Amino acid sequence: MTKENFFPEIIANLPEADIPIEGLHSYLLQGENQQFIFMSFENYVEVPEHSHEAQWGVILDGEIELTIDGKKCTFAKGDTYFIPKDVKHSARIRKGYKDLTFFNQKDRYKAK
């Protein structure tokens, strides 16, 4: 597996998630009431403050700086994070960041 193809074919064959971020490769695993999104970022990205249903993630590679309910934390490969429902948060995602994110929401993202 090369850096360009971080996720194996069984993940890359999932439907792409419709997330309007340039340089983001995202693959959607849709459950009845939740979603898993496998994400890989080619570029540095700033995500403005927002909130939604609960979110849990595991960092597969790279780093992300999350501000959750006003508290800033940096997470790196192997770390996990949790954002409770309706808690405001924002992110600074570094180039090369990869993660697996679970949304406790069946319609957070749609397939392309």
Q: What are the domain boundaries of the chain?
A: 23-101
pLDDT 10s digits, 11-26 = 999 999 999 999 999 9
The identity of residue 45, as a single letter, is V
Burial of 60 (0-12, 13-18, 19+ CB in 10 A): middle
CA distances from 30 to 37, 40, 53, 86, 100 (A): 9, 18, 15, 21, 13
> Which CATH number is associated with domain 23-101?
2.60.120.10
pTM assigned to the model = 0.91
For residue 3, pLDDT over 60 is answered with no
